[in-house]
């Protein structure tokens, strides 16, 4: 089994380095394996999506891109977890939530409550039009994705009640979020301080980090904003380049 994995690894690397597509004969020559062995291994790799066959040639399959995306998502989460722990030193008591967009929904992935020392993994939904995270999504997602999310929730009671059903009012707030680099709800409950900032990874928007503190002392808010805005673009190292995953 280990030998099979090693052979598949060698074949995948040959395919990734073959700009014009990999031929079975070339793979057999470069690996030193029998042609029939390469043929059977490649057939299995195609079946599981690791390779794709086009015009008799083989290219890296979509499954490799999916695995790499999952790997990067894990790395991003670990970086965000470390940032939450770092930011926790500047504000107590507080809570932090890291959330990402999933189609027209917002999923919270990391959550740190007041009494917790480290964030924990969760999977909860946040209301897109009634959360500071939602405002960040609308401000920093690609325009088409943001519009799809907005349109999917314009019948929500939050939009009708809190935004008076006015898209103009909502988008004015979204513009301010984009200019300021952080979001706050104009109708936040008294005594609740809640701010969300965008999180970027490898130059792309990833999600929102929300800080919440329940207090009437708003000097804490002023002191926390610079720390939240100090979040930097998360950089990850990829073993394979983006071009190698393109079908």
Could you tell me the CATH number of the domain that includes residue 186?
3.30.450.40
pLDDT class of 68 with cuts at 50, 70, 90? confident
Residue with tokens 């195609």: 46
CA atoms of 34 and 173, how far apart (whole Å):
64
Instruction: Calculate mean pLDDT across residues 9-28.
Output: 93
pLDDT tens string 54-66: 999 999 999 998 8
Is the pLDDT at 188 greater than 70, yes or no? yes
| Distance, CA of 36 to chain centre | 41
Same domain, 125 and 35: no
pLDDT at position 237 is 58
Q: Do 153 and 170 belong to one domain?
A: yes
Instruction: Output the pLDDT for position 246.
Output: 40
Average confidence score pLDDT of the chain = 89
In whole angstroms, what is the distance from residue 118 CA to residue 52 CA?
42
Position 72 confidence tier, pLDDT thresholds 50, 70, 90: confident
For every residue of the chain, which 3-state class applies, written as one string? CHHHHHHHHHHHHHHHHCCCCECHHHHHHHHCCCHHHHHHHHHHHHHCCCEEEECCEEEECHHHHHHHHHHHHHHHHHHHHHHHHHHHHHCCCCEEEEEEEECCEEEEEEEECCCCCCCEEEEEEECCCCCHHHHHHHHHCCHHHHHHHHHHCCCCHHHHHHCCCCHHHHHHHHHHHHHHCCECCCCCCCCEEEEEEEEEECCEEEEEEEEEEECCCCHHHHHHHHHHHCCCCECCCCCCCHHHHCC
Structural domains of the chain, count: 2
Same domain as 136, residue 45: no
Handedness of CA 199, 178, 170, 147 (dihedral sign): negative
Instruction: Indicate whether 31 and 128 sit together in one domain.
Output: no
Mean pLDDT of 104-131: 89
Average pLDDT estimate for 205-230 = 92
Do 172 and 128 fall within a single domain? yes
- Domain range for 113 is 69-229
Q: pTM above the 0.85 mark?
A: no
Q: Based on the domain organization, do 161 and 199 belong to the same domain?
A: yes
Assess whether 56 and 76 both reside in one domain: no
Confidence of residue 220 (pLDDT cuts 50, 70, 90): confident
Per-residue pLDDT, 6? 93
Domain co-membership, 96 together with 11? no
Q: Is residue 122 part of a domain?
A: yes
Same domain for 191 and 146, yes or no, is: yes
CA proximity to 91, closest of 244, 231, 172, 212: 212
pLDDT of residue 92: 73
Tell me, what's the pLDDT at 239? Answer: 38
41 and 117 fall within a common domain? no
Output the six-digit token pair for 80.
């965000």
Q: Burial code of 144-166, b = ≥16 C-beta within 10 A, e = fewer?
A: eebeebbeebeeeeebeebbeee
Q: Taking the mean position of all CA atoms in its chain, how far away is CA 37?
A: 39
For residue 26, give the CATH number of its domain. Answer: 1.10.10.10
Q: Are 7 and 111 in a shared domain?
A: no
């Amino acid at each position: 089994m280990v030998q099979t994995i090693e052979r598949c690894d060698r074949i995948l690397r040959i395919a990734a380095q073959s700009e014009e597509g990999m031929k079975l004969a070339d793979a057999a020559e470069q690996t030193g394996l029998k042609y029939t062995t390469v043929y059977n291994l490649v057939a299995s790799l195609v079946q599981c999506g690791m390779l794709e066959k086009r015009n008799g040639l083989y290219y890296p399959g979509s499954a490799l891109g999916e695995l790499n995306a999952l790997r990067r998502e894990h790395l991003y989460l670990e970086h965000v977890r470390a940032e939450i722990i770092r930011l926790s030193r500047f504000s107590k008591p507080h809570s932090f939530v890291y959330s990402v967009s999933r189609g027209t929904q917002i999923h919270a992935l990391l959550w740190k409550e007041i009494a917790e020392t480290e964030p924990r993994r969760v999977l909860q939904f946040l209301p897109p039009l009634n959360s500071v995270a939602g405002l960040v999504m609308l401000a920093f997602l690609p325009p088409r994705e943001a519009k799809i999310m907005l349109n999917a929730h314009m019948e929500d009671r939050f939009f009708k009640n809190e935004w008076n059903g006015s898209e103009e009012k909502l988008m004015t707030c979204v513009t301010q979020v984009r200019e300021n680099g952080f979001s706050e709800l104009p109708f936040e409950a008294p005594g609740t301080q809640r701010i969300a900032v965008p999180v970027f990874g490898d130059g792309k928007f990833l999600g929102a980090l929300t800080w919440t503190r329940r207090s009437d002392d708003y000097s804490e808010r002023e002191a926390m904003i610079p720390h939240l805005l100090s979040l930097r673009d998360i950089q990850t190292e990829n073993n394979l380049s983006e071009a190698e995953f393109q079908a």
